[in-house]
Structure 1
Amino acid sequence: MPDNIVVGGVSVDTRHWIGGERVASDDTFADVSPIDGSVLGEMARGGPAEAVAAVAAAKAAFPAWAATSRAERARILHAIADGVEKRIEELSIVETTDNGALLRSHRRGVIPRVAHNFRFFADWLLKLEHEDFETRGHRNHVSWDPAGPSVLITPWNAPLMLATWKVAPALAAGNTVVLKPAEWSPLTASLLADIAAEAGLPAGVLNVVQGYGSEIGDALTSHPDVRRISFTGSVPTAKRIAESAAGNLTPLSLELGGKSPLLVFADADLDLAVDLAVEQYDNAGQVCLAATRFLVEESVAEEFTRRFVEKAATLTQGDPRDETTDIGPNIHPRQLEKIDAFVQRALAAGARAVIGGHRKDTQYYAPTLLTDVAQDSEIVQEEVFGPVLTLQTFSTEEEAVRLANDTRFGLAATLATGDAERAERVTEQLVAGTVWVNCFFVRDLQAPFGGSRHSGVGREGGTWSFDFYCDVKNTVTAPNGWKNHG
């Protein structure tokens, strides 16, 4: 197996990064581009041995990194951000080739956000504090102690951005990291290891191991030396991780997707509502926060649907490297089969495809909107993770809230209304970690992020990230307890 492959003119190492060194494995797995199904290269396929080695490296590096001053940790994180910014074009090309998301989005927003992740948490670290307070004259002082080696398991839909959303705060907190990227999109994690090393991150502080979760995952999540686990992915996988971590009582942060609603009231700006609705096809529908369930007030449902169909017809689906493309391919033929199976079962059960409802070829699924769907149907209740949306109607505000909350998920919700009082009333009743009112996907890193119900456990972002990646300690000091050594 060659140690490097060339993707879009960029050299990428195919081996793991453990303890500051490249490490090969006896086995490999093929990394396939969703754009055309071509094999980009054979990646090192890790198992229990690589997992144990990576955790050992993280454990060995932890004492020195935890003792590193806040200022020095922040300096190195900013240096990593500098490295990302110097390679935005390379990272964008590799990421698009590897996961099929739009090249223009990577260049203009996603990869710059990677650098911002590091800068934000570096700066937040330097101002992280809780005001001291008194209890019967005693001083309480809150501090954040690094917790230890952290295992971060990341998804394929926004590989580098979502990986660094975890890596940056974990490193800022003083933890060492074992990053396990998704096997369908591992390449930019390998490049991140190079960038971090060039920025001066000490050996063993960041480790990257590749492979299938079924082969390497349990060895990582059940390891007694791992003190934090953060995972973004499916509910079934999260349950396995939780079972694996339970033996060591390892704290977990889980972000598990959703089945989020878009509520459109008759008093909404319909053009805005339609724009928000069409935006849900972003990244070929492979966005955990996507509002895939349209709930539209009956009196405007026909007009909303007409405008939506017209707007959706203007979208261009094709090669994500083309600047004019709006929707790229789905990540993998298996995912495409899963999407189509959902749709065909829904159609067989009586749903109607207003648009789409079929594959375009082996890589692309036609943007789809289904109506005549029952609230208890699979297509309404389960996450599809593709360009498939449903539309239902409601007649009252109470019915809208009931339908919105009637799934096992609770990640996000989007609300379109022209009534500020209604917006406040409805958002207070929605079960969701994030609610957008007359907007979508506006995110600030200082805000809490996470889901309710089966959409996750815990919150990250700003101080919430440090609360998770650290052991938060309160020191209580008695007054006048000091001996006079003067």
Structure 2
Amino acid sequence: MTEHTLTVAGVAVDTRHWIGGERVASTETFPDVSPIDGSVLGEISRGTAMEVAAAVAAAKAAFPAWAATPRAERARILHAVADGVEKRLEELAIVETTDNGALLRSHRRGVMPRVAHNFRFFADWLLKLEHEDFETRGHTNHVSWDPAGPSVLITPWNAPLMLATWKVAPALAAGNTVILKPAEWTPLTASLLADIAAEAGLPAGVLNVVQGYGSEIGDALTSHPDVRRISFTGSVPTARRIAASAAANLTPLSLELGGKSPLLVFADADLDLAADLAVEQYDNAGQVCLAATRFLVEESVAEEFTRRFVEKAGQLTQGDPRDEATDIGPNIHPRQLEKIDGFVQRALASGARAVIGGHRKGAQYYAPTLLTDVAQDSEIVQEEVFGPVLTLQTFATEAEAVRLANDTRFGLAATLATGDPERAERVTAQLVAGTVWTNCFFVRDLQAPFGGSRHSGVGREGGTWSFDFYCDVKNTVTAPNGWRNHG
């Protein structure tokens, strides 16, 4: 291991920033800790306003040439990045697992292939991005998508590379240049992505990676007058600070924030399916913004549903995420574990009952938990825990189910289990959510819009919606027979 390189499971990772096509070290560092065992993986360059200024300047300088690059060439380079991801898939998987604690088997089979797909999808979508010309009183209207400029992308720790490339890929495809700020708890795969992009032929300055604490460099990133777009995935309080910082320059924002999503189980549902969907909410140790953490179950089947859920949850294995047999790994950080346990202990003190779990399992793990006897206005029902903690409430009527489902400040997603298609149509039409799943969960397509309502976010990502955000959408109107004869 050299001064600026750490090794994770035999994979060398550069700990410096990537700015203007070069590695740049900071004078100070911060430790990167593995949630698996609490070990320090290495010291990471700790960015300051100086590195931010250099990255934005590099992105600004690279923007005109990248924006002018033909669509087909931009798409070719993005496909080359995808090739590089696939070539290094195993390395990316083990580094990500070590850095954020999610299951290695998931990274190998689903997450890292999805990273490559993110680049391929937006490369291909770019080539077919168009709006049919239309006429207004004989005048021709032509819609085009012009690259907006340098874009700041601030990404979370729960699915670091997948969620980063969900932003990086469309921003680059749109012709923008990027300053990527990965979460300080999980910076490693962003560094590897910089290497892969450079090897794929992405010009210097088009992608820049600045590491560090959001509290120290966030404002420098989001208030910079040369930044033309800001995309953030994370918490509501941080989003408020970003919005306030961006306001001075009226920089457009895309915000994908928290959730407190419901799982509605009606008496006519397939209860085995409903219990399977419920157990899925423990995925990634509950660190999924889309998770349906509030079970709303019709009274007449609540006891049977709970029995089946507890039986299935009891079959889960919690432990080292590198083990193929593990179903639930660690939570990301002792600070997050403390937060999770605080929610649970306050709920128990207020009269909630732990059907399962309700306690820590060592320094890095929290037992899968289901709480019942919880009030609708209680903290545990209203606030996002972001851990393996679920609640169960009952309802008597369809109207009550909808009321309870919508009774939070969030509106990211909802899941519905019912055997009645007419009920499904009625209920989904009334749910406040950006995504609704009926008798399924986490089926995702990049063609579909993704985002939240209320405090769950601003804007939509996916397909043309991503290009609408990362571009200045222009309409050109041409008069009929208005050309002079130059012949």
TM over 0.5: yes
Q: How far has the Cα of 1:454 moved from its partner?
A: 0.2
Partner of 2:152: 151
Tell me the distance in 2 between the aligned counterparts of 1:239 and 1:483. 53
Partner of 1:445: 446
Q: How far has the Cα of 1:274 moved from its partner?
A: 0.3
Q: How far has the Cα of 1:114 moved from its partner?
A: 0.1
Tell me the distance in 1 between the aligned counterparts of 2:284 and 2:183. 17
Q: How far has the Cα of 1:257 moved from its partner?
A: 1.4
Tell me the distance in 2 between the aligned counterparts of 1:139 and 1:207. 40
Tell me the distance in 1 between the aligned counterparts of 2:424 and 2:104. 35
Tell me the distance in 1 between the aligned counterparts of 2:212 and 2:448. 32
Q: How far has the Cα of 1:485 moved from its partner?
A: 1.8
Report the secondary structure of 2:125's partner residue. Answer: helix
Deviations 1:152-187 (A, max 9, x none): 000000000000000000000000000000000000
Deviations 1:329-384 (A, max 9, x none): 00000000000000000000000000000001100000000000000000000000
Q: How far has the Cα of 1:207 moved from its partner?
A: 0.1
Deviations 1:108-166 (A, max 9, x none): 00000000000000000000000000001100000000000000000000000000000
Partner of 1:336: 337
Deviations 1:54-83 (A, max 9, x none): 000000000000000000000000000000
Tell me the distance in 1 between the aligned counterparts of 2:131 and 2:396. 47
Tell me the distance in 1 between the aligned counterparts of 2:113 and 2:444. 14
Tell me the distance in 2 between the aligned counterparts of 1:394 and 1:131. 48
Tell me the distance in 1 between the aligned counterparts of 2:272 and 2:178. 45
Q: How far has the Cα of 1:47 moved from its partner?
A: 1.1
Report the secondary structure of 2:416's partner residue. Answer: strand
Tell me the distance in 2 between the aligned counterparts of 1:377 and 1:181. 33
Q: How far has the Cα of 1:470 moved from its partner?
A: 0.1
Tell me the distance in 2 between the aligned counterparts of 1:313 and 1:401. 30
Partner of 2:46: 45
Tell me the distance in 2 between the aligned counterparts of 1:47 and 1:277. 43
Report the secondary structure of 1:217's partner residue. Answer: helix
Tell me the distance in 2 between the aligned counterparts of 1:8 and 1:168. 27
Tell me the distance in 2 between the aligned counterparts of 1:47 and 1:264. 49
Tell me the distance in 1 between the aligned counterparts of 2:248 and 2:444. 35
Q: How far has the Cα of 1:244 moved from its partner?
A: 0.2
Q: How far has the Cα of 1:453 moved from its partner?
A: 0.2
Partner of 1:483: 484
Report the secondary structure of 2:451's partner residue. Answer: coil
> TM-score by structure 2 length?
0.99
Q: Any gaps of 5 or more consecutive residues in structure 1? A: none
Tell me the distance in 2 between the aligned counterparts of 1:485 and 1:214. 61
Report the secondary structure of 2:433's partner residue. Answer: coil
Tell me the distance in 2 between the aligned counterparts of 1:9 and 1:363. 24
Tell me the distance in 2 between the aligned counterparts of 1:460 and 1:484. 45
Q: How far has the Cα of 1:216 moved from its partner?
A: 0.6
Report the secondary structure of 2:436's partner residue. Answer: strand
Q: How far has the Cα of 1:35 moved from its partner?
A: 0.1
Tell me the distance in 1 between the aligned counterparts of 2:139 and 2:396. 58
Tell me the distance in 2 between the aligned counterparts of 1:346 and 1:257. 20
Deviations 1:273-324 (A, max 9, x none): 0000000000000000000000000000000000000000000000000000
Q: How far has the Cα of 1:438 moved from its partner?
A: 0.3
Report the secondary structure of 2:36's partner residue. Answer: coil
Deviations 1:403-440 (A, max 9, x none): 00000000000000000000000000000000000000
Tell me the distance in 2 between the aligned counterparts of 1:146 and 1:162. 21
Aligned alpha-carbon RMSD (Å) = 0.3
Partner of 1:425: 426
Report the secondary structure of 1:473's partner residue. Answer: strand
Tell me the distance in 1 between the aligned counterparts of 2:9 and 2:334. 22
Partner of 1:456: 457
Q: How far has the Cα of 1:385 moved from its partner?
A: 0.1
Tell me the distance in 1 between the aligned counterparts of 2:101 and 2:167. 22
Q: How far has the Cα of 1:484 moved from its partner?
A: 1.5
After TM superposition, the runs of 4+ consecutive aligned structure 1 residues lying more than 6 A away are none
Tell me the distance in 2 between the aligned counterparts of 1:110 and 1:19. 28
Q: Does 1:298 pair with 2:307?
A: no
Report the secondary structure of 1:95's partner residue. Answer: helix
Report the secondary structure of 1:43's partner residue. Answer: strand
Tell me the distance in 2 between the aligned counterparts of 1:75 and 1:325. 38
Q: How far has the Cα of 1:263 moved from its partner?
A: 0.2
Report the secondary structure of 2:202's partner residue. Answer: coil
Deviations 1:81-110 (A, max 9, x none): 000000000000000000000000000000
Q: How far has the Cα of 1:251 moved from its partner?
A: 0.1
Tell me the distance in 1 between the aligned counterparts of 2:61 and 2:450. 31
Tell me the distance in 1 between the aligned counterparts of 2:454 and 2:57. 34
Report the secondary structure of 2:276's partner residue. Answer: helix
Tell me the distance in 2 between the aligned counterparts of 1:138 and 1:396. 55
Q: How far has the Cα of 1:200 moved from its partner?
A: 0.2
Q: How far has the Cα of 1:32 moved from its partner?
A: 0.1
Tell me the distance in 1 between the aligned counterparts of 2:423 and 2:476. 45
Report the secondary structure of 1:359's partner residue. Answer: coil
Tell me the distance in 1 between the aligned counterparts of 2:90 and 2:258. 29
Tell me the distance in 2 between the aligned counterparts of 1:113 and 1:412. 21
Tell me the distance in 2 between the aligned counterparts of 1:374 and 1:261. 15
Partner of 1:320: 321
Report the secondary structure of 1:141's partner residue. Answer: strand
Tell me the distance in 2 between the aligned counterparts of 1:245 and 1:112. 34
Report the secondary structure of 1:57's partner residue. Answer: helix
Report the secondary structure of 2:78's partner residue. Answer: helix
Q: How far has the Cα of 1:483 moved from its partner?
A: 1.1
Q: Does 1:17 pair with 2:18?
A: yes
Tell me the distance in 2 between the aligned counterparts of 1:264 and 1:47. 49
Deviations 1:434-460 (A, max 9, x none): 000000000000100000000000001
Report the secondary structure of 2:386's partner residue. Answer: coil
Q: Any gaps of 5 or more consecutive residues in structure 2? A: none
Q: How far has the Cα of 1:240 moved from its partner?
A: 0.1
Tell me the distance in 2 between the aligned counterparts of 1:68 and 1:217. 30
Q: How far has the Cα of 1:398 moved from its partner?
A: 0.2
